[in-house]
Amino acid sequence: AQKVTQAQTEISVVEKEDVTLDCVYETRDTTYYLFWYKQPPSGELVFLIRRNSFDEQNEISGRYSWNFQKSTSSFNFTITASQVVDSAVYFCALRNDWNTGNQFYFGTGTSLTVIP
C-alpha cells in the first residue's frame, strides 16, 4: 500500500524562524518519486520539488531545503528564515509505477502560519 503521512496539522512560527515540515511515506516499490507542493490561499497547488528514490542528496533552493532519508522513509522540508509569504498549506506526495494509473498519493497537508 502507498501512504504519505504528514503528522503536523498546523504549525505557527514567528517571522525569521526556521521551520521543518515532516513527511513520512510508505511504499513497496523500489522506484518512486516524492514531491512537495505549496497551496497558498488562492487554492492552486504549486509544485516545489521532486526527488527520486535513488537520489538521497539533500537539495537547497534559496531559503528552502529538503532532506530525503530512505532509511527512515522521510522527505522533510525546511524553510529557513521564514517569511509571511511562506504562509500556506504544504503537501507531500508520492508517485510510483506500482499502479497503472501512476496516481499521486498525497499527505493530509501541513498548514503553516508565519506571524509577522
Partner 1 sequence: DGGITQSPKYLFRKEGQNVTLSCEQNLNHDAMYWYRQDPGQGLRLIYYSQIVNDFQKGDIAEGYSVSREKKESFPLTVTSAQKNPTAFYLCASSIAGQVAAEAFFGQGTRLTVV
Nearer to partner 1, 83 or 102 (CB): 102
How far apart CA 98 and CA 95 sit, in angstroms, is 9
Q: How far is the CB of 73 from partner 1 (least distance, A)?
A: 17
How far apart CA 73 and CA 69 sit, in angstroms, is 6
Q: How far is the CB of 90 from partner 1 (least distance, A)?
A: 11
How far apart CA 25 and CA 96 sit, in angstroms, is 12
Q: How far is the CB of 9 from partner 1 (least distance, A)?
A: 7
Number of neighbours of residue 100 by Cβ within 10 angstroms: 6
Number of neighbours of residue 82 by Cβ within 10 angstroms: 22
Nearer to partner 1, 64 or 104 (CB): 104
Cell numbers given for 73:
522513509
Nearer to partner 1, 3 or 16 (CB): 3
Nearer to partner 1, 17 or 40 (CB): 40
Residues within the interface to partner 1 (CB under 8 A): 6, 9, 31-33, 35, 37, 42-47, 50, 52, 91, 93, 95-97, 100-104, 106-109
